[in-house]
């Protein structure tokens, strides 16, 4: 990827694999994933449900539900390995260095505590400040995310806010310890279009002003187009394609990305029928041999149906496909 000399990425993931041992054998929801996010950049991670997007996010922040575990690879945050940290050390990183925004703002806030208390608790835990200062910072954080009359609303409970306002509180919570990386997992999926536009504008502003790196997980191509700098397309736990957002969306080279882009109603402009990818993503329990996309792929050949599965190098560094049409430079 476009690694500029002298600039160390905030997050660097190399060959990350996540495994879940089950009675039917070991499943691999994330398979040898590699990507970097630089300071002040937004990486969009797209894919259909079950592609392993959220699993990747959870692995980075160390929140995998057992028995899922990291089976291989490295996760580095500003050069420091965080995938093998002990529980307690990881807890310090989480919240301080990495903030997290989940899809449903109601379930990511404690319904029994006023939002101010949840913010000050986080600030006191991670920053060397006193109680009054923490409270001031909490109000400032709420103001920054655009909550009107923040000083008065600091003692309100989560249920007293609307969905959009709650998501702002969650973002304030993720940012209050000034992390260098924010993982936003479908942050606007539960919100209306007009509120979604507000939250996207907020994320972009924070990323620009504070230089926070953001990993934006979503299934919405429109959101990715407007927000992300780079985009990683996942399919069945593997990276299908990665690159600058404009290239991947306007000139995709992996057949899956091509199919995905063509099947969005936005791309159908005037055409009567949408183009469609036949079939559905395979279950992890019966992944096909070779390339996971081969049963649905219009250009699959014998090589695709045999192991090994193609990786990014097979497609010229940007797409995991043996026959990626015209690799981008």
Q: For residues 102 and 235, which CB has a smaller minimum distance to another protein in the complex? A: 235
Q: Which is nearer to another protein, 60 or 297 (CB)?
A: 297
| Alpha-carbon distances of 76 from 73, 278, 328, rounded to whole Å | 10, 38, 27
**Cβ contact 120:131 at 8 Å:** yes
Q: How far is the CB of 283 from another protein (least distance, A)?
A: 9
Nearer to another protein, 116 or 255 (CB): 255
**Shortest Cβ 75–another protein spacing (Å):** 27
Cβ count within 10 A of residue 194: 8
- According to DSSP, the residues that pair with 183 across neighbouring strands are 100, 215
Report the DSSP pairing between strands 11-22 and 69-77.
antiparallel
Spatial contact of 245 and 228, defined as CB atoms under 8 Å apart: yes
- In three-state secondary structure terms, 70 is strand
C-alpha dihedral sign at 210, 211, 216, 222: positive
Q: Which is nearer to another protein, 24 or 132 (CB)?
A: 24
304-321 core/surface letters (b: 16 or more CB in 10 A; e: else): beeeebbbbebbeebbbb
Minimal distance, residue 195 CB to another protein, in Å = 6
Residue 228 Cβ vs another protein, minimum distance, rounded to whole Å: 9
Nearer to another protein (CB atom), residue 194 or residue 285? 194
| Positions in the binding site for another protein (CB under 8 A) | 48-49, 162, 164-165, 192-198, 200-202, 204, 219-223, 225-226, 245-246, 249-250, 259-261, 263-268, 272-278, 280-281
Least Å distance, CB 272 to another protein, is: 7
């Amino acid at each position: 990827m476009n690694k500029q000399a002298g600039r160390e990425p905030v997050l660097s993931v190399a060959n990350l694999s996540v495994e879940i041992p089950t009675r039917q054998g070991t499943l691999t929801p994330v398979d040898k994933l590699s990507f970097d996010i630089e300071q002040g950049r937004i990486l969009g991670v797209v894919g259909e449900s079950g592609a392993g997007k959220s699993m990747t996010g959870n692995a980075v922040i160390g929140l995998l539900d057992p028995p899922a575990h990291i089976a291989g690879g490295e996760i580095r945050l500003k050069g420091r390995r965080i995938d093998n940290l002990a529980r307690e050390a990881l807890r310090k990183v989480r919240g301080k260095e990495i903030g997290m925004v989940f899809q449903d703002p109601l379930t990511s806030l404690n319904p029994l505590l006023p939002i101010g208390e949840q913010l000050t608790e986080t600030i006191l835990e991670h920053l060397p400040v006193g109680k009054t200062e923490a409270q001031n910072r909490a109000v400032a954080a709420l103001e920054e995310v655009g909550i009107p009359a923040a000083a008065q609303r600091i003692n309100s409970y989560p249920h007293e806010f609307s969905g959009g306002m709650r998501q702002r509180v969650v973002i304030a919570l993720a940012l209050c310890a000034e992390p260098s990386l924010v993982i936003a997992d479908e942050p606007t999926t539960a919100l209306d279009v007009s509120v979604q536009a507000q939250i996207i504008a907020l994320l972009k502003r924070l990323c620009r002003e504070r230089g926070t790196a953001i990993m934006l997980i979503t299934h919405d191509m429109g959101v990715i187009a407007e927000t992300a700098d780079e985009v990683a397309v996942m399919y069945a736990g593997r990276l299908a394609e990665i690159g600058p957002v404009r290239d991947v969306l306007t000139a995709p080279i992996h057949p899956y990305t091509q199919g995905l882009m063509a099947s969005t109603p936005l791309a159908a402009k005037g055409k009567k029928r949408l183009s469609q990818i036949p079939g559905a993503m395979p279950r992890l329990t019966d992944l096909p041999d070779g390339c996971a996309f081969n049963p649905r792929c219009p250009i699959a050949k014998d090589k695709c149906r045999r192991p090994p599965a193609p990786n990014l190098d097979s497609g010229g560094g940007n797409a995991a496909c043996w026959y990626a049409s015209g690799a981008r430079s």
